Structure formats: structure tokens, C-alpha cells
Structure 1
């Protein structure tokens, strides 16, 4: 209980203190005209007040990551709280703020264009492909998971055939909504319903927290200790806290998906001074949501072992919501959970459309141009959804690839932000430190995880433990090498080489 409360307080203080430090280092210029003012087009560039932009940004970034990811991260015990708090304050919120503000300074540019400007042409071309692939994976995950939650919620006692029919009907409705949200001007659908869903999400999270205390289940949440509570520890290398916890809890701590979403609101801010209240604060709120769901997962099922026996994350969401808040409150809570992924999935496809359009310099004001870009994206997305629907293993594979690519994109975005700060003579340590740390995380994961190079390297090393150790060593070596190269080539020789 104390770990949970301290974590929530730390996140709030992080926004009030570290958020101001980030803002001071960036140097906002309230006198600058933002893209929403200078190049308004009535489709993607539309002025919005900061409270409205904040709620939209929160829904954009808060997919199932801070809920499903936090629940799966709870298998490790209260170590999940530590990663959420420190990751959110010093990495995730910093990442979101600097990417968002760099997009504001570059006419609402997509993350691939930002990376290309500050890291060079080769990263530009890589990021154009990488970010679109990630966005499609996000769209697929966020079509599948809300449909799964709704099936668990409303089809109790139904035959398997009826459950499947209901599931495919829900999938069709969600995809239809995604198409509309991708094509229509941002203020016509997203701008109107997102603030309502955002408020619903926050109210439901608050309701679950209150019920944890009223029922006394908050006492079941273990206090932080330097130990790994994952019951699979010693049986599976992916039960190690490092780097696997840091990949499992992505959106609740740091997420490259956010780098694809922040440009959406960068095109809608009225003033640069609103940046911290939109980009940094949205990430802090997402961290609080992740803390709450991690606490619910650990507290409601008594022990970590009880959580692992409860079933999938979707089952955990449904059971805990209904048990804690009754059927009415449970339905509202699940509605908030369902709204999260749906309102991230639609903007994932919208961001993919804008990323491709930015790379091709393809005007998106005419609706026919939007269809030209969007139709192939949805065809690919639907095929992947059908693949993920085959069985749980297929979905888990898509989820893990999404998680790794998500954190890799965040790492690249942090390096780009560090390059910007160095080239403008600013204190680049604020983004360099998390960039170095995340480089170790994604490299170690890629080399040791089962869905990546882990099995291949294990055949060479002879044991999974040896592969795990080698992955961490190579990750550390790569991070040190990149940091040294950065400081020597960018931090010293090229500072003050671009206009801010």
C-alpha cells in the first residue's frame, strides 16, 4: 500500500518539478505562431484549447498498454511500480514532451521526419518504414484487445459459436469506426468524443482506486523489496526483471507509439507554453493509470501466484472491475478500458496515414488523397487482425513484436531529441540518459527474447542463461559506444550548428 501511494505522489511531483526542468531546457517561445495558427487546414491542423488537447492526447497514447501491460508487469511484483514511476518521469514524459515540441517547431512533422532532420537521411528512411509498421501493429493490437474484452464481458454462458459471431461483429464495428476517425477532420469526430472518453477513463481509474481501499484489498499489494516475485523466475529467462519488465510495461512508462501520436496534437496547440500541460502531463496521467491497474492486479487476486492463475489480461480486467464495482460500475470500468485501445487504434491508423503523406509530400486536404493512403493500410491491418484472432499464441506473438518495436522507436526518438538539444547548445543529458538506458534494454531484449534472436543464440552458447548474459553485455557495450560517439561528434563538434 505504501509503495503504491508513494508512487502516485512521486508521479505528481515529477510533473510539477521535472516537467518544468524539461520545459526550461527546451525554452518555449510563446510568441511563436504554432502550426495550428500558421498553416490551419481544417483537417489535421486545427486550433484546440489545452484541456481539450490534453484529453485527446491522453486517449491517443493510453491504449491497452498502461492496462494490459501493467497487469502483465504485475507478475514481477512491486518492481512494476518502480519502473512505472522512474520510467514515466525521467524517460516517458521527457520523450513525449520533446517529440511533441519538436513537432511543433517543425510544422507538425511526423516522428520519421524529425529523426531524419536531426540524425540524418539513413535514419529517416529507416524510421519511415519502422514507424508505419509499428502503427499498423498498434492498430491490430487495439482492434483485437477491445473486442476480446467485450466478448469476455457480455457473452457469459453463450455457446462458442455465438461468442465468435459476437466477436466478429464487434471487430467489424471497430474497424468501421477506425476508418471514419482516420478520414474525417480531427475536430469532427476525435475532437468531440475523446474528451468524454478521457474523462470516463480517469473517473473509472479513480473509482477502482477508491474500491481497493474500501474493500481493504490494497493491503494485499506487496511493498517494494529488492526481489523478483515472478513465479516463473528460474524456469524462463523472460521472467528476469531486466530487460523484460521494461518491455512488458511500455505505454505506462515509455512508449515509442507516443512519438507517432504527439505530432497529432502538435498540429493543434494554440501556444507553445501549452506543451508541458499536454505532452508531459498526459504521460504522467497514463503512468497513474498504469499504477492503479498494477495495484488492482496484485491486490484483487491476493498474491502474484493468484494473479497468474486468473487468466488472460482481458479476464483480469473484467473480473476485477465487476468484483470491485458491481455490474454497473464494472460495465462502466470496462467501457473506460475499451475506450482506451479504440481511441489509440484509430489515431494509430491516422498517424500512419500522415506519416506516409509527409514522406511523399502528398496533400491530405482532399478526401480522395486520404483514401489513397488509408485503404492499403486497412487491408494490411485487417489481414493481421485475422491472423491474431486464430489463437492466443498468435496474438501474443504480435503483442511482443509490438512491444519491442515500440520501445526501439522510443529509443531512436530520444537519440534524435538529444541531437537537437546538442546542436542547439542546450543541456542534452535530459534525453541522452534515457536514450542510453533504453538502448541497453532493447538490445538485450532483442538478443535474448524467444521471439527475437534468443533461440538462435542459445544454440550457439548452449544455454539460455549464457544468451541472457551475452545480451546484456552487448547491450551495455553498444550503449557506451553510441554515447561516446554522440558526445564526440554531436555534443562537442556540432553544437550550435542549427537554428532553434
Structure 2
């Protein structure tokens, strides 16, 4: 038990100490008017207080990520705990803070614009396509998962579960469409803080009951050896498996939603970095539950094999918290992913609007983007869920890597300490390169060759950065336009 609380304390200390280092390095300035103050339009640019923005940001980035990922990561053993703590503080927190605050400095622009301003026009266009694809994958994943679970609980009288699933898919898509085009304060601003509080209560309540019922924490010990029952390699899979809860590129697509709503730049530390630490705490709880509630990785694997991570959530919640836990489990595995899916589509709308320079105050212009966007999303739902999830995992970590390199260039341009972004960028480059080389959806190379490939790619990127940084124009006030290397 002591180790669990030490990990919790480490995450809190990371926020109290390292987030201030990151904020000071960025140079948050309360004298600079934020987009919410300068560009308020009553739709996407709407001023919110710090607590409201934090809770919405937490729910936007969370969803199923810090629950399902850590449950699957628990199969690898206590290494999952180490990665959650270190990843959240030194990678995820940095990534989320800079993705949000660069957007603040760039008039609330979406992440492709931030990337383009720092890495070049080609990078911007690549990120426009890449980000929209990722957001569509996220949106579809968070339609199909909840729809399947809801179909099992409420079948509308259909004898064939497939029809019930189609019905729930249509209902969820309908909600997504409404939430995507309505002003941000109408649904998201009112309901999401309540769901975020539910997410927090669920994590705290389950942790308390684990202690109350006398469970032995980490009964298999705290060895960092790989305990995966299927023999899957620790490197790089655990870093792909536990993305939300450590570092996730999806967060970079969500941060601009709140960058358009925070009232001053000092809110960036609690809203962006703080929400990442909050997600890390939730991930820590679920990784601990997976390693403690089930005595062995094999026992956990058996439940996952029969019903997926959702079955683990249901069994743990009902056993530890009874009917209340069952209700919270429904909220956790159904409502929460839905609330990330709708903001995924909303973010995609905003990226497309930024690309075409199409103001979104008028409802007809929001519809012009949303209708074809949802049509494409519906077509993607015809693809097998497992296939979509595999591509989502790789795209998620790849986007995070690009954003960290972008933050590194931004810091060079502003004569700041770029190492806080470059070190995690190098590490994540090795992760995604190794995964791409080894995975069946990638090059499907032998594992040893893939590891060397990852090392060479990350060294190559680091050398390129160090050679090019000398030619980056230093302009401390360059917060509103391109400053990349041509």
C-alpha cells in the first residue's frame, strides 16, 4: 500500500514542482489577453473560470483512456506504475501544457497550425490530415465501444443484438452531431464538469474500498520484470498501451478547445498540466486495481480475454462498491467515452475551419463542415473495431511525438530551455519508430531489427534537431505567426 501512496505523492509533487518549471520556461504572462478575451464569439471562444475549464479538460482528455489502457498495461507488471508517474510528469504534462499554451499564443488555433508555425508548411499540411484522421478514429472508437455495451444492457426488444447496436450507434452519433455544432457552454460547459467529478469519485472510491476490504497491494511483488501472460515485449508496447495516463497525442487535439476559453495565461498550468496529472492519478488507480484485485496477471488476462477491459471495470466496480459501483461502471465505460468522442468531432470541425479560414459563429458554416465530417465517420464505423483501435494507438503516440518536437523548436525560438521538450521527444521517437517497424500494421520486421531501427531513427532526429537549431531565428516576441526554418 505504501508504494501506491508514494506514487500518488510523486505525481502531486510533480505538479507542484515541475509544472512551475514548465510554466516559467514558457513564460506565462497575465498581461497578455487570451483568445477568450480578444475573440469571444459565443460559440467556441467563450470565457470560463479556471475550475470549470479544468474539469472539462480532464473529461475531454480522459474518456476510456486512463481506464482501459492501464488495465491492459497492468498485465506487464509494476513497470506500468513507473511509466505512469514518469510519463505524466516529464512527458505528458509538458506535451499537454505546450499544446494548450502554444494554441493560446496563436489565437486559439488548432495543433496543426502550431506545428506549422514551428516546423514548416509541409508539417502543417501533414498534421492537418493526420490530426483529422486521428480524431475520426477516436470519435468512431468512442461510438462503437459504448454502443456495443449499451446494446447488451438495453436491447430495445431486438432478438438480434446487431440491430440494437446499430440503434445505439445512431443515437450516439445524433448526440455527437448536436454537441459538435452547439456553443461550447451549452452542453459541454454544463454537463462535463459533473461527469469529470464522477470520474474522480469513482477512482477515489475504488481505492478506498480496496484498502477497506483488506486487499494486499501488488501481491506479485514490485519487480520490474515483464509479467505479460502472452509474452508480449515490454518495449515498446507498454508505452503504446498506456498512452492516456502518461502521454497521448489526442490531448493535443483537445487542448485548443480550452485554450479558447481560459481567462488568463496563468490558468494554463492547472488546466493543461494539471489535467494531465489528474488523468495520471486515475490511470495509477486502475493499474493498481488490475494488479491487486486479481492475484496474478493470468487471472486478469482471463477476464480480459472473455469480455475485454470493460468486463474488468464491471467486475471490480460491482465487487468493491456494490450497486453504486455498478452504476459508476456504466458511467465509466459508456458515458465517459461518449464525452470524449463528441469533443473529438468538435476538434475536427475546428481544425477544418482553421484550414479553410471559415469563422464558426454562424450555424450554417458549422453545418457545412459537420455534415460531411459525420458522413465520413459513419463510413469508418463499418470497419472492424479491433483494426480501428490498432491504428488509433500508433497515431496517438505519433502525434504526441510531433507535438513535443514542435515544443522544442518553439522554445529554441524563444531562447528558452528546450531540453524539457526534446528529451521526451527523443524517447517517444524511439517508441513509435520501434512500434512501426515491428507491428503488423507497420513494416512487420523482426523484433531485434525493429529495436535497432527505433534507436537509429531517434538518434537521427536528435542530430537533425541539434544541427538545425542554430539556424532557427530567435524572436522572443514571435507568438503570432510562422517562425520555422525554410
CA 1:451–1:2 in structure 2 vs 1: closer, same or farther (change >3 Å)?
A: farther
What is aligned with 2:204?
Answer: 206
DSSP-derived class of the 1:242 partner = helix
Deviation string 1:443-471 (CA, Å, 9 cap, x unpaired) is: 000000122211xx3xxxxxxxxx21111
Q: Following superposition of structure 1 onto structure 2, how do residues 345-356 of structure 1 map, counting pairs within 5 Å? A: 345-356=341-352
In 1: Cα distance, 2:410 partner to 2:331 partner: 40
User: TM-score, normalization: structure 2?
Assistant: 0.94
Shift in Å, 1:292: 1.0
What is aligned with 1:95?
Answer: 95
Match status 1:147 vs 2:147: yes
Shift in Å, 1:221: 4.6
Q: Following superposition of structure 1 onto structure 2, how do residues 291-302 of structure 1 map, counting pairs within 5 Å? A: 291-302=284-295
Shift in Å, 1:6: 1.9
CA contact (8 A) 1:321 1:334 kept: no
What is aligned with 1:462?
Answer: none
CA contact (8 A) 2:77 2:223 kept: no
In 2: Cα distance, 1:160 partner to 1:43 partner: 39
What is aligned with 1:248?
Answer: 241
What is aligned with 1:382?
Answer: 378
- Greater CA drift, 144-153 or 444-453: 144-153
Shift in Å, 1:220: 4.5
In 2: Cα distance, 1:298 partner to 1:153 partner: 28
In 2: Cα distance, 1:447 partner to 1:321 partner: 38
Match status 1:5 vs 2:1: no
What is aligned with 1:44?
Answer: 44
Deviation string 1:90-113 (CA, Å, 9 cap, x unpaired) is: 000110001100000000010000
Match status 1:339 vs 2:335: yes
What is aligned with 1:416?
Answer: 406
Deviation string 1:31-73 (CA, Å, 9 cap, x unpaired) is: 1100000010000000000100000000100021111111111
Deviation string 1:121-150 (CA, Å, 9 cap, x unpaired) is: 111110000000000000011112222333
In 2: Cα distance, 1:142 partner to 1:217 partner: 32
CA contact (8 A) 2:139 2:342 kept: yes
CA-based RMSD of the aligned residues comes to 1.7
CA contact (8 A) 2:78 2:224 kept: no
CA 1:447–1:28 in structure 2 vs 1: closer, same or farther (change >3 Å)?
A: same
CA contact (8 A) 1:152 1:315 kept: no
Deviation string 1:378-419 (CA, Å, 9 cap, x unpaired) is: 1121222232xxxxxx32221111010000000000000100
Shift in Å, 1:205: 1.1
Q: Following superposition of structure 1 onto structure 2, how do residues 8-47 of structure 1 map, counting pairs within 5 Å? A: 8-47=8-47
In 2: Cα distance, 1:74 partner to 1:219 partner: 13
Q: Following superposition of structure 1 onto structure 2, how do residues 436-455 of structure 1 map, counting pairs within 5 Å? A: 436-454=426-444
What is aligned with 1:435?
Answer: 425
User: TM-score, normalization: structure 1?
Assistant: 0.92
Gapped regions of structure 1 (runs ≥ 5): 234-238, 388-393, 458-466
DSSP-derived class of the 1:219 partner = coil
What is aligned with 2:386?
Answer: 396
What is aligned with 1:488?
Answer: 467
Match status 1:367 vs 2:363: yes
In 1: Cα distance, 2:473 partner to 2:316 partner: 52
Deviation string 1:158-184 (CA, Å, 9 cap, x unpaired) is: 999354443333222211111111000
CA 1:204–1:226 in structure 2 vs 1: closer, same or farther (change >3 Å)?
A: closer
Shift in Å, 1:302: 1.8
Match 2:454 to one of 475, 491, 498: 475
Aligned length: 475
Deviation string 1:62-87 (CA, Å, 9 cap, x unpaired) is: 02111111111111111111111111
Q: Following superposition of structure 1 onto structure 2, how do residues 314-325 of structure 1 map, counting pairs within 5 Å? A: 314-325=310-321
